[in-house]
Amino acid sequence: MQLIWFRQDLRIHDQTSLWHATQAGQTVAVVMLSPGQWLLHDDAPIKIDFYLRQLQQLKQQLDALNIPLLIETVPLWKDIPDSMLKLCQQFKIEKLHANIEAGVNEQQRDAQVAAILYQHQIATEFYLDRTLFPLGNIRNQSNAPYQVFGAFKKRCYEHLSLSLPSCLPAPEAQPAINTLEFNISEFSTSIPCVQTFYPDFTAPASMWTVGEAHAFALLDEFLDEHVRHYPTERDYPHLQGTSQLSAYLNMGVLSIRQCVNALFREQHGQLDFEHTGQQIWLDELLWREFYQHILHDFPRVSKHLPFRLNTQKVAWRSLADPIVADDFQAWKQAQTGIPIVDAGMRQMLATGWMHNRVRMIVAMFLSKNLLIDWRLGEQWFMQHLIDGDLAANNGGWQWCASTGTDSVPYFRVFNPVSQSQKFDANGDYIRTWVPELAGLDAKSIHAPYAKNPNLNLNYPKPVVDLKMSRIRAIEAFKNAQGKI
Ligand SMILES: Cc1cc2nc3c(=O)[nH]c(=O)nc-3n(C[C@H](O)[C@H](O)[C@H](O)COP(=O)(O)OP(=O)(O)OC[C@H]3O[C@@H](n4cnc5c(N)ncnc54)[C@H](O)[C@@H]3O)c2cc1C
């Protein structure tokens, strides 16, 4: 008997470990719910809700293939090895199949499971699935990992131009398992709802439908109608200019190979750009790839260390100071008095997702204008994003805070008001998320008190002066560099 262990790869099409398990023989499936680990990893309730709802869909798909899905609940990942061994022994498992995950804790968890199973003559195999290229395999001429995206991307293009990765089909249905022989009824097969773990959670209305079919439909719609306009529309948060597929990619409802293949389906699987939209969207998928490889090659980034170690000396403002604590609170609760920042933060609190341009603006505002440690922002994002992914979130934050791989230079501080004027010129995005300002015209909405500080609005004044805080941030980075 084979065992497939589902993690963040909740689909049956192009699912590498599922495919190999089912080709090897009769298969059962398991997921290990670890609520304590979700808390340790700051996983957002909305992400857990998405995960559990997607599991329901997966269970139905697996039922149709006669693959029973067992639901084990253990407090933490450290409890998985014993639980997995027990299960393997009960089902007389020959081999456990799972897909590789890049994080340090994930790899430690998998090594511990493999070790205990090995002691009991049970094999394990971990497959390349979550990334296009094997972690640790994209190397420069000195056989070292790339540290800047441009060079990494070029290398990826070289590989992709030789051949695009192919997708595996869904497995065929297997003969039904004798449930009595294996005492399946001793195991739980019912999937809890999110309120079991987060009693106060309420789902946002009408967003984030689960299911592989839905994810495919979104991908198709994006490729048919939007990708052509991606170069010109992707930076404007009031438009539907991006795919909004990040939650699906992150939970593995869609695979990265499915996205790349669909992107080039008109080119019969050749890396042949028909328009710049194709190329720019591929580049975004490669940013995802890049950060996964960075996490693998430089695991310090997941241990609260900056990629650029010299930025460790930056004197972030301390939360022990009540003024700073208030500033942080204002940022978290979307009450900074900078409309584009508050709009973005409210979009995330309400939907679990925030537009990429606005993610950059709010992250730079926190780490530069408020000079608050980017790690606090990174954590707040993880606690609220439906697509929260350690590698991409860490990479995005370190880019904005000028502590990362090829991050923005520390002296290039976005002015959030100019960004707002440029990317939300009419103020439509702000009006959606900050209704207090809905009555303002397109000129004044970006900085409501700039011309008239006495304006009577039910909206806070800016928590910080943008000019002064920009200079303060640049000084803090300059001072830190002097200390190397
Ligand atoms: C501070 C900050 C935090 C971020 N946190 C996350 C996160 O936790 N999870 C996450 O998936 N993305 C994160 N991103 C990257 C990016 O904002 C989102 O991937 C994107 O907004 C998702 O929207 P989309 O699916 O419409 O993207 P599209 O523009 O359609 O891009 C397609 C896919 O490419 C990937 N992608 C796009 N941009 C990036 C990028 N800059 N870095 C890595 N992958 C990218 C995503 O998987 C995305 O779904 C973060 C960016 C910043 C600046």
**Per-residue pLDDT tens digits for 416-445:** 999 999 999 999 999 999 999 999 999 999
Given the residues 374, 380, 399, 433, the one annotated as active site:
374
Neighbour-count burial for 350-366, b at 16+ CB within 10 Å, e otherwise: bbbbbbbbbbbbbbbbb
- pLDDT at res. 483: 58
Cβ neighbours around 323 below 10 Å, total: 9
Lowest mean per-residue pLDDT among 8-17, 267-276, 449-458, 466-475: 267-276
**How does pLDDT run across 342-395, given as a tens digit for each residue?**
999 999 999 999 999 999 999 999 999 999 999 999 999 999 999 999 999 999
Superfamily of 309-482 according to CATH: DNA Cyclobutane Dipyrimidine Photolyase, subunit A, domain 3 (1.10.579.10)
- pLDDT at res. 204: 80
CA atoms within 13 A on the CB side of 211: 8
Q: For the domain 1-130, what is the CATH code? A: 3.40.50.620
156, amino acid identity: C
**Which sequence spans correspond to the domains of the chain?**
1-130, 131-167+212-297, 309-482
CA 131 – CA 288 distance, rounded (Å):
9
Averaged over 93-105, what is the pLDDT? 97
Averaged over 69-94, what is the pLDDT? 96
The DSSP-derived string for 168-223 is PPPPPPPPPP-TTTTTGGGS--PPPPGGGT-TT--PPTT----SHHHHHHHHHHII
**How does pLDDT run across 289-313, given as a tens digit for each residue?**
999 999 999 999 999 999 999 899 9
**How does pLDDT run across 11-37, given as a tens digit for each residue?**
999 999 999 999 999 999 999 999 999
- For ligand 1, atom 23, which residue shows the shortest CA distance? 244
- pLDDT at res. 356: 98
- 415 pLDDT band, cuts 50/70/90, is very high
Cβ neighbours around 278 below 10 Å, total: 21
Averaged over 459-474, what is the pLDDT? 97
**Catalytic status, residue 284:** yes
- pLDDT at res. 468: 97
145, amino acid identity: P
Q: Distance between alpha carbon 122 and the CA centroid of its chain, in Å?
A: 33
Residue 356 C-alpha to ligand 1 middle, in angstroms? 6
123, β-bridge pairs: 95
Angle at 337 between CA 332 and CA 339, to 5 degrees: 90
For residue 300, give every residue at least 6 positions away whose Cβ sits within 8 Å of its Cβ, in sequence order, or none.
307
Burial class (CB in 10 A: 0-12, 13-18, 19+), 314: buried
- For ligand 1, atom 34, which residue shows the shortest CA distance? 285
Averaged over 44-50, what is the pLDDT? 97
Q: Which residues line ligand 1 (CB under 6 A)?
A: 234, 242-246, 249-250, 284-285, 287-288, 291, 356, 359-360, 363, 381, 385, 387-389, 392-393, 395-397, 400
Is the pLDDT at 457 greater than 90? The verdict is yes
Given the residues 94, 233, 261, 287, the one annotated as active site:
287
Atom of ligand 1 nearest to the CA of 363: 1
Question: Percent of the chain scored above 70 by pLDDT?
Answer: 99
**How does pLDDT run across 336-352, given as a tens digit for each residue?**
999 999 999 999 999 99
Fold for the domain defined by 131-167+212-297: 1.25.40
Is the pLDDT at 484 greater than 50? The verdict is no
CA 387 – CA 403 distance, rounded (Å):
22
Cβ neighbours around 291 below 10 Å, total: 25
